[in-house]
Structure 1
Amino acid sequence: MVKKEIDLDEILLEVGQFGRFQIKNFVLILVPILFCAFYNSQYIFAAASVQYRCRVPECEATPPNFETNGWGSWALPDSGGRCERYVPIGSICDPGSFHPNNTEQCTSWVYSNHDSIVSSFDLACEEWKRTLVGTVHGAGLFFALAITAYISDTYGRRLAFVLTAVAPAAVGLGRSFSDTYITYIILEFVEAVAAGGVYSSGFVLALEMMGLNRRVLGGNLISCTYALGQALVALIAWAIPEWRTFTRVIYVPSVLFVIYYFLLEESVRWLLSKGKKKEAVKIIFKAASVNKRKLSPETIKQLNEESIADQDTTKTTNDTIKAAIEPEEKQPSLVLQVLKSRVIMTRLLICAFWWISVTFIYYGISINSVSLAGNSYVNYILTSLVEIPGYILSILSLDRFGRKGSIMTAFFICGVSLVGLPFVPEDLLWLQTCLNLLGKLCISMVFSSIYIYTSELYPTTLRQSLLSVCSMTGRVGQVIAPQTPLLMEYMEALPYLVFGVMAGTSALLMLLTPETLNLSLPDNVKQAENIATKPRAERTTNVAIN
């Protein structure tokens, strides 16, 4: 007699798609996600641009004051004397003691404040060293996501999440005591490697225990939390501008996340994919109990039989109930599984370009926001908070209009707004601001949605790894984004034009991928390949049941 297979998505309909059990784990996951925003944004303030001028020993007070009190008009060029000063021809501070035309390179500087590493490590006139901090941080994420993916798929989602949440405490604290620029840069890279996977591992852990119709809500709540984290870190930096103290305040609390190993539950999908059915069944029963939901007699019988069968490893799988995620005895390597599937390989290449575009545009807009006129902290807070309406639009549109239509539209609007921004007259600053915020709103919607859409395109056995590959490749955009302030010196409109072209291209590439609306998560490569050919009626079955 052929027994009915256990389908985790069907079980979640009985257990509750987003009950007290899932909410408890979800809320716990949101706290490290909040801190993840701190880690990925802190360098914008720690390595913020600082006003500086050449030191003029003949005129300096003791201690030196950044304001020149008039003598700058004859000792410093019209540019403000950032990198050059007039050649002295005397030893006193008066107009006749400086050559009116000849200049020389400065050898020391006076800074307006000492809140940034620019003044601490004397980085005046070396703008590339300041922007390099963000690039190094982005480069560290390449290694972080690969390492996290391996730990997550091999040893469990929970372990990967806890390790990446706790590790930043030690590295971040150590970086706050850096006495040289080289030490700071090295620890910036190490910290990015240690903490870079907390978002992706937490995202997968949270969504794999949610029901089909709660993935979009859960994913966007995570994104909203990240946006709030960015706004909060700006407030902290505003209150504590000195970079060493600021760094200690945001990193030290991370050590408390070690207790998460005992508070969080492992992903049931991952346990089933690894053949750990007894542990998975135990968590399912616990979730039903916490959610105060009663499982059907048939489901209880199947779960009990599965748990008992798991204790006897000598029995063949024909004697047990087949789980929705059937663990294979000898799994081919990740590379072989991807290369052997032309469908999966094509999706991987397309997703990689999406992610490069999204990260480049998203971080590029954020980084440049602190250079806009006005209070840099307020600008960054507004640029962060405007993401939340984008995430709300994602919640409202993804389940109603589908993944593809919603994301394509957001990509196109983002592209049009950013390409048009450089052509707005300078006297229409309000319109420039609106287009900038519209671009950030749309790319934020895409960023949130792309996590959900990408995770739905791949099977459970490869989901974390391929999601991490896409995210890791996307860090190319994050690595390049901090350099956009340098590009604007050559052509002010160039970054925005590139942003717009990449957004439009990404939208067109979405025509080559399938719609995943109302589809169960694929558990193996064959199911993932067949997404595009699934009948529409089959896509809506779960919605009708719910």
Structure 2
Amino acid sequence: MVPECESTPPKFETNGWGLWALPEDGGRCSRLTPLGDSCVPESFHLNQTQSCSSWVYETDNSIISEFGLACQEWKRTLVGTVHSAGMFFALALTAYVSDAFGRRSAFILTAVSAGVVGVCRAFSNSYTLYVVLEFVEATVGSGVYSTGFILALEMVGLEQRVLGGNIISCTFAIGQVMVALVAWAVPYWRTLTLIIYAPSILFVLYCFALQESVRWLLSKGRKKEAAAIIFKAASINKKKLSPATIKQLTEETDDSSKSVQETVTPVASEVPKKQSLFIQVIRSKTLVSRLCICSFWWITLTFIYYGLSINSVSLAGNSYVNYILTSLVEIPGYAISVVTLDRFGRKSSIITAFFICGIALIALPFVPYIVSLSALVDCNLSTGIQWLQITLNMIGKLSISMAFSSIYIYTSELMPTEVRHSLLGACSMFGRIGSLLAPQTPLLMEYWESLPYLIFGIMAVTSGLLMLLTPETLRVRLPDTVQQAENINIAPRTKHKTDIIVD
């Protein structure tokens, strides 16, 4: 703010006096040193500046204006960093709750907790409290998506896995569009926060409507509860269960022979206790290597996905419209994966998506050089190639969105039910490294404007090559134990219609 020239009340536009009262860069954190009390060119030093003590904001809708963050860039970026840090802890915490106490409990707990903390954040009276609640909200609520995804995936049969997974991914994109529309209509941050988070509290009603994952119940030996859910669903949908499913749900383990044997077996020959799941996973070279590969995939996906959004400067104009467009472009990627994953297999589809993304983004940095050469020959050709740069960016976003939704399904199919959420959460937790690094990629443009895109492309191609080291899971039943997960390569495959239990 320049008190010598400001109107009452102060306006964001300088109406000309900014030419002599503000530095050449337009002034934001500093102003030219005043030499008098009037607003004339002679009353300001030509090149000597001083730091501003107060500011005029274009709008009063954000935390930047309310908490006075005009020239404190680190405080503004810290909000996103704190949120990513909260997500890092959330994935491990939610995975433990999900695998130990059930998918249903974890889903309802994370959804309601996010709503409660989000509503509290809307009433923050200081920047410190806002950041603390941002971290808490991310920690207790960020696992809701992965929990819901796994719960849905375990509720459907083999033939519906891909469709179900991509429907969830499409709703994620639609949710982003809805957030942009609401923010466009209600820009004030407190009201916007209340509108977004308050409905989440209603998820407490899911206690009366949502059923537990049958697969999780069976993995915990709670067969009676699983049977009740399946028989109820079959009755409502007027479906007939296969004999194999009925046998699995109603067959009781015969302990009589075991009891007799225990009475005549010496104590010294007792069977050793079963190893814990954690020890089984750690000792399994197959699962450990698979976990490392999956983690690199997730780092790549989050790094490119968020990096493209941050570095997408090709689309000029209304910021709300741009955000909506970059969200909508994901839906065709999800639709393509519905067709390809079941027809060509998981590996072929995801490898192709990674390679197309990699080629498009590696080619993008060289487009300006082609433009500069073509401009010497044909101006119309130069304009056409500039559109090519936008097209390559969109192809990259579409392809990485397809790979993202497919990796969710593929990673879930590679892991055993007993620790599926824990291992998926570990991969996603490592993926947060990519989301933490993505906001820093614009700094690379100081060295070479297209360097971020080149890095994105190389990582995408590398991830595609790593796909060659993992097994195909097309038409293979979800593994329930560590041993079944290790033997996916030799597991039987089927083209017959299957149900949720015997798939």
TM-score normalized by the length of structure 1: 0.83
Tell me, in whole angstroms, the C-alpha distance in 2 between the residues paired with 1:318 and 1:519.
38
Secondary structure in 2 aligned to 1:69? coil
Secondary structure in 2 aligned to 1:101? strand
Secondary structure in 1 aligned to 2:487? helix
Distance apart, 1:409 and its partner CA: 1.0
Which one of the candidate residues 385, 408, 413 is aligned to 1:451?
A: 408
Distance apart, 1:492 and its partner CA: 2.9
1:357 and 2:300 matched: yes
Corresponding residue for residue 63 of structure 2: 117
Cα contact 2:358–2:460 (8 A) shared by 1: yes
Structure 1 pair 258/544, CA: closer, same or farther in 2 (3 Å)? Answer: closer
Cα contact 2:87–2:143 (8 A) shared by 1: yes
Which one of the candidate residues 469, 478, 493 is aligned to 1:539?
A: 493
Corresponding residue for residue 398 of structure 1: 341
Q: Which runs of 5+ in 1 are unaligned?
A: 1-54, 320-327
Cα contact 2:333–2:398 (8 A) shared by 1: yes
Corresponding residue for residue 167 of structure 2: 221
Structure 1 pair 403/297, CA: closer, same or farther in 2 (3 Å)? Answer: closer
Cα contact 1:135–1:478 (8 A) shared by 2: no
Secondary structure in 2 aligned to 1:64? coil
Cα contact 1:518–1:542 (8 A) shared by 2: no
Tell me, in whole angstroms, the C-alpha distance in 1 between the residues paired with 2:120 and 2:498.
54
Secondary structure in 2 aligned to 1:167? helix
* AA matched with 1:174: C
* AA matched with 1:526: Q
* AA matched with 2:484: Q
Tell me, in whole angstroms, the C-alpha distance in 1 between the residues paired with 2:183 and 2:5.
33
- String of CA shifts for 1:216-244, please: whole Å, max 9, x gaps: 00000000000000011001111111111
Corresponding residue for residue 362 of structure 2: 419
1:517 and 2:471 matched: no
Tell me, in whole angstroms, the C-alpha distance in 2 between the residues paired with 1:142 and 1:329.
37
Tell me, in whole angstroms, the C-alpha distance in 2 between the residues paired with 1:184 and 1:155.
31
Matches within 5 A, 1:422-441: 422-425=365-368, 428-441=385-398
Tell me, in whole angstroms, the C-alpha distance in 1 between the residues paired with 2:260 and 2:421.
29
Identity of aligned residues (%): 66
* AA matched with 1:86: L
Corresponding residue for residue 284 of structure 1: 230
Distance apart, 1:281 and its partner CA: 0.9
* AA matched with 2:431: G
Matches within 5 A, 1:343-382: 343-369=286-312, 372-382=315-325
Corresponding residue for residue 170 of structure 1: 116
- String of CA shifts for 1:491-526, please: whole Å, max 9, x gaps: 432322221121111111111111111111111111
Structure 1 pair 417/512, CA: closer, same or farther in 2 (3 Å)? Answer: same
Cα contact 2:159–2:498 (8 A) shared by 1: no
Corresponding residue for residue 83 of structure 2: 137
Stretch deviating more after TM superposition (336-345 or 109-118): 109-118
Which one of the candidate residues 322, 325, 332 is aligned to 1:389?
A: 332
Tell me, in whole angstroms, the C-alpha distance in 1 between the residues paired with 2:194 and 2:447.
37
Tell me, in whole angstroms, the C-alpha distance in 2 between the residues paired with 1:268 and 1:316.
27
* AA matched with 2:472: E
Secondary structure in 1 aligned to 2:9? coil
* AA matched with 2:302: T
Corresponding residue for residue 340 of structure 1: 283
Tell me, in whole angstroms, the C-alpha distance in 1 between the residues paired with 2:133 and 2:272.
41
- String of CA shifts for 1:187-239, please: whole Å, max 9, x gaps: 11110011111011101111112111110000000000000000110011111
Secondary structure in 1 aligned to 2:56? strand
CA RMSD, 1 decimal: 2.5
Secondary structure in 2 aligned to 1:479? helix
Cα contact 2:234–2:241 (8 A) shared by 1: yes
Cα contact 1:369–1:380 (8 A) shared by 2: no
Tell me, in whole angstroms, the C-alpha distance in 1 between the residues paired with 2:332 and 2:260.
51
Corresponding residue for residue 141 of structure 2: 195
Which one of the candidate residues 32, 35, 47 is aligned to 1:86?
A: 32
Cα contact 1:369–1:376 (8 A) shared by 2: no
Q: Which runs of 5+ in 2 are unaligned?
A: 262-270, 372-382
Tell me, in whole angstroms, the C-alpha distance in 2 between the residues paired with 1:298 and 1:275.
18
Distance apart, 1:350 and its partner CA: 0.3
Tell me, in whole angstroms, the C-alpha distance in 1 between the residues paired with 2:433 and 2:412.
20
* AA matched with 2:153: L
Distance apart, 1:181 and its partner CA: 1.9
Matches within 5 A, 1:53-68: 55-68=1-14
Distance apart, 1:344 and its partner CA: 0.4
Secondary structure in 2 aligned to 1:424? helix
Distance apart, 1:420 and its partner CA: 2.5
Corresponding residue for residue 40 of structure 1: none
1:104 and 2:47 matched: no
Distance apart, 1:136 and its partner CA: 1.5
* AA matched with 1:499: F
- String of CA shifts for 1:432-457, please: whole Å, max 9, x gaps: 22222111100100110001100111
Distance apart, 1:101 and its partner CA: 2.0
Tell me, in whole angstroms, the C-alpha distance in 2 between the residues paired with 1:167 and 1:137.
15
Structure 1 pair 318/80, CA: closer, same or farther in 2 (3 Å)? Answer: farther
Cα contact 2:158–2:498 (8 A) shared by 1: no
Distance apart, 1:130 and its partner CA: 1.8
Distance apart, 1:423 and its partner CA: 3.0
- String of CA shifts for 1:519-545, please: whole Å, max 9, x gaps: 1111111111111234xxx32354699
Matches within 5 A, 1:252-271: 252-271=198-217
Cα contact 1:136–1:479 (8 A) shared by 2: no
Distance apart, 1:372 and its partner CA: 4.6
Secondary structure in 2 aligned to 1:349? helix
Distance apart, 1:490 and its partner CA: 5.1
* AA matched with 2:229: I
Secondary structure in 2 aligned to 1:476? helix
Cα contact 1:370–1:379 (8 A) shared by 2: no
Structure 1 pair 234/297, CA: closer, same or farther in 2 (3 Å)? Answer: closer
Tell me, in whole angstroms, the C-alpha distance in 1 between the residues paired with 2:172 and 2:116.
22
TM-score normalized by the length of structure 2: 0.89
Corresponding residue for residue 468 of structure 1: 425
Cα contact 2:314–2:390 (8 A) shared by 1: no
Stretch deviating more after TM superposition (99-108 or 417-426): 417-426
1:526 and 2:478 matched: no
Tell me, in whole angstroms, the C-alpha distance in 2 between the residues paired with 1:109 and 1:527.
63
